[in-house]
Structure 1
Amino acid sequence: MTSLLDTTRLSRRSVLAGTAATVLVGARARAADVKWRLGLSQPVDSPNFIRLKEMTDRVRAETGGRLDISMHGGGVLGSDTRMLAMLQSGEIEMYNAGNVLGPIVPVTEMPGLPFTFKSPADVFKALDGDLGDYIRAELLAKGIYAFRWGGDNGFHHLTTSTRPVRTVEDLAGMTMRTPVQEMTVDFFSALGAVPKKFPLSQLYQVLKDKTCDAQTDPLFLIVLMKLNEVQTYLSLTNHWWSGFTFTANAAAWKSLPDDLKAVVEKNVRISALAQRQDVEKATGEAIGILTGKGMIVNQCDVSGFKRPLGAFYAKWKGIYGAKAWSLLEAHVGRLA
């Protein structure tokens, strides 16, 4: 059976081969009318990079080289916070945003609220529709154009180095690496853990040097980042979903000719749908890979996780606003 790691290596070779072919074609093609840069923190062997690289290659080919989008993955342009600032200032024109948009547009965090959506299909029904339309309008008001078709990251689970998490009581006093947004910090604080914010680029190191006991991530990312080397236990909690919002600088997007916009929109959709399938497949393989590498996997009773969240939901309803909250509850049921 082909593993996730084998698949990403094969896909990376395919991308590099495609890049070489594009260079040969490009050598005979006209110089680009428009040159853009695309930044992302995900590594070059991730589904995000691979599928977005395919997208940029198709755009270059289908526009006859008029639009040339260069890829800058693995955080080479800086942290996610830095790349977001670069997008807003126009230093880069495109950015694949994870959980970093909340400080600018708080409602972008709503799809990741704990224990709301049940499956990626449920999430994307909301994000490809009315809830997503509301979020995209809020981003546009801040100078960020968000494409309708975003990527999947999967549902999060807990890994720890000290003890398995079987009930909420096991989180008491546990130092938890969290993403940088405040909503995730509030969640783990409500459950008795001690959250510490670190960017994804520092995740492996803070677990290795025991700055944090535990962390939260989707299954396929635990494999991709080799967290089995620095964590012992995998506790299946399915506590929240995370994904990616593919964005462009709004002014740069507005200046693009309509025919080029149409090519980009079409190919972003193709790549996003392929990336979602990649993540679904990799997620299905991940537990087998991780147990094979020695991780100890346990089911978690999450009923106790939900009991302390009344005040948490009420607080974030106030932050996100009644309109956005009603759109969310139309998909997931009453929360607060």
Structure 2
Amino acid sequence: MNSLLDTTRLSRRSVLAGTAATVFVGSRARAADYTWRLGLSQPVDSPNFIRLKEMTERVRTETGGRLDISMHGGGVLGSDTKMLAMLQSGELEMYNAGNVLGPIVPVTEMPGLPFTFKSPAEVFKALDGDLGDYIRAELLAKGIHAFRWGGDNGFHHLTTSTKPIRTVEDLAGMTMRAPVQEMTVDFFQALGAVPKKFPLSQLYQVLKDKTCDAQTDPLFLIVLMRLYEVQTYLSLTNHWWSGFTFTVNAAAWNKLPDDLKAVVDRNVRISALAQRQDVEKATAEAIGILQAKGMIVNQCDVSGFKRPLGAFYAKWKGVYGSKAWSLLEAHVGKLT
């Protein structure tokens, strides 16, 4: 079966086999002029790791070994919060950020506002363009250079271990593992759930231990992290989008010669576009895989989810600012 699980396992073997490769110039190994580390919390068999590993190998080859970027996936360098702090301090040069940038730059959360974008194509039209430019400028002011081309994570749905979510009333009192952004916590609180913030690295365990009954994630990630082992129900809600912002410490980036910057930029774009295609394919396969693993799938009526959004949007417009909000509404229509 050519599934996500089969593909990523094969790809993981192939990329890890090249980890120890050495670039030779003529008959002599060349020491790198720049040695960087790239950290990410996503597993080493995820599209993120696989495509970024390919990126680092192309960069090493195309620069003749002048820039050597080592990969550190699966959170081995610490939590996302720790890696983000390392990025800002310069202890870590590159970092693939999920939904963790909000405490530093609130507007990074905007693409994930519930029930705004309707497809990844809509999201990336905004993020590869003017809304993304605004967000990247805000990040740069905090010492973080964000590449134009980020990755996809997909639209989120709900999984639970206790009962299916058919209407908003089913969320009342339910413990929900939420990402770290306050916006996501606020949304679930508005729906009557009890959100608890845990990093991605702890997701499986908090579900296994019943610390949380439910969680929110894209379909392919539910497969990749084997959440079907600790969750019974998948309720299709499509409530918000999430993705990845690929970043580099701005000071380290500024020290890089222009020719090396061009190589990195070009190869980040190649890997990002490939990762987006990987996620699109994996998302299309995911429901069938999850049903085969025993998950019970239902379509949720999300009309009740949208009732509190007027006040919700008004609050977060104040947080993100009118300029950013107008850029968003130019893509998705009026929200308040």
Q: Same fold by TM-score, threshold 0.5 exceeded?
A: yes
Q: What TM-score do the two structures reach when normalised by structure 2?
A: 0.98
Residues 160 and 234, structure 2, Cα contact 8 Å, conserved in 1? yes
- Residues 24, 208 of structure 1: alpha-carbon distance in 2 compared, 3 angstrom cutoff: farther
Distance 2:213 2:2 in 1: 32
**Shift of residue 29 of structure 1?**
2.8
Distance 2:173 2:28 in 1: 62
Tell me how many residue pairs correspond in the alignment.
336
Distance 2:101 2:266 in 1: 24
Distance 1:25 1:189 in 2: 58
Residues 26 and 65, structure 1, Cα contact 8 Å, conserved in 2? no
Distance 1:53 1:65 in 2: 15
Distance 1:140 1:308 in 2: 34
Q: Which runs of 4+ in 1 moved over 6 A?
A: 23-27
**Shift of residue 23 of structure 1?**
6.2
What is the percent sequence identity of the aligned residues?
91
The answer for unaligned runs of 5 or more in structure 1 is: none
- Residues 65, 24 of structure 1: alpha-carbon distance in 2 compared, 3 angstrom cutoff: closer
**Shift of residue 18 of structure 1?**
3.5
Distance 2:114 2:61 in 1: 42
Supply the RMSD in Å over aligned alpha carbons.
Answer: 1.3
**Shift of residue 19 of structure 1?**
3.3
Q: Deviations over 1:141-193 (max 9, x none)?
A: 11000000000000000000111001111101100000011000000000010
- Residues 167, 76 of structure 1: alpha-carbon distance in 2 compared, 3 angstrom cutoff: same
- Residues 26, 278 of structure 1: alpha-carbon distance in 2 compared, 3 angstrom cutoff: farther
The answer for unaligned runs of 5 or more in structure 2 is: none
- Residues 292, 45 of structure 1: alpha-carbon distance in 2 compared, 3 angstrom cutoff: same
Distance 1:186 1:27 in 2: 59
- Residues 307, 272 of structure 1: alpha-carbon distance in 2 compared, 3 angstrom cutoff: same
Residues 177 and 203, structure 1, Cα contact 8 Å, conserved in 2? yes
**Shift of residue 20 of structure 1?**
4.9
Residues 22 and 57, structure 1, Cα contact 8 Å, conserved in 2? no
**Shift of residue 98 of structure 1?**
0.4
Residues 159 and 215, structure 1, Cα contact 8 Å, conserved in 2? yes
Q: Deviations over 1:108-152 (max 9, x none)?
A: 000000000000000000000000000000000110000000000
Distance 1:291 1:223 in 2: 11
- Residues 24, 42 of structure 1: alpha-carbon distance in 2 compared, 3 angstrom cutoff: farther
- Residues 264, 170 of structure 1: alpha-carbon distance in 2 compared, 3 angstrom cutoff: same
**Shift of residue 292 of structure 1?**
0.3
Residues 29 and 64, structure 1, Cα contact 8 Å, conserved in 2? no
Residues 23 and 61, structure 2, Cα contact 8 Å, conserved in 1? no
Within-5 A mapping of 1:287-302: 287-302=287-302
Distance 1:124 1:17 in 2: 32
Query: Secondary structure of 2:92's match?
Result: coil
Residues 23 and 60, structure 2, Cα contact 8 Å, conserved in 1? no
**Shift of residue 25 of structure 1?**
7.8
Residues 155 and 241, structure 2, Cα contact 8 Å, conserved in 1? yes
